[in-house]
Amino acid sequence: MLVSLGAIGFGLVWGWLLGFYDIKPDRQPLAIVSLSGASVAGAGVTAWLGGLSTSAPFSVAALVALWVHTQWRSELRKRYGNSTNS
C-alpha cells in the first residue's frame, strides 16, 4: 500500500513538472521524444523499485497531474494572456 502511494505521489509530481514545459513549434518533435523518454525512465525506475504493479498508478497519476496542470494554465492564459516569463 505504501509503495503504491509513493508511486502515485511521484507520478503526481512528475506530471505537474511536465506541465511546466512550453514547447516551441520548431523544437516540438525533439521535446516530445525527450520528455516521453524521461517519463518511460521514471516509470521504469518506479517499477524497478516498487515492483511492476506500481508503474500503472505512477502513469495514471502523472497523466492526471499533467492534464490538470495544462487545463489550469489554459484558463490562466484565457484570463490574463500569455506570460512573457517563459
Question: What would the DSSP string read from start to end of the chain?
Answer: -HHHHHHHHHHHHHHHHHTT----GGGHHHHHHHHHHHHHHHHHHHHHHH-GGGHHHHHHHHHHHHHHHHHHHHHHHHHH---S--
- The domain segmentation of the chain, as residue ranges, is 2-80
Q: In which band, very low, low, confident or very high, does the pLDDT at 86 lie, cut at 50, 70 and 90? A: low
Q: In which band, very low, low, confident or very high, does the pLDDT at 83 lie, cut at 50, 70 and 90? A: low
Output the pTM of the full model. Answer: 0.81
Q: In which band, very low, low, confident or very high, does the pLDDT at 85 lie, cut at 50, 70 and 90? A: low
Per-residue model confidence as pLDDT tens digits over 20-33: 887 777 888 888 89
Q: In which band, very low, low, confident or very high, does the pLDDT at 7 lie, cut at 50, 70 and 90? A: very high
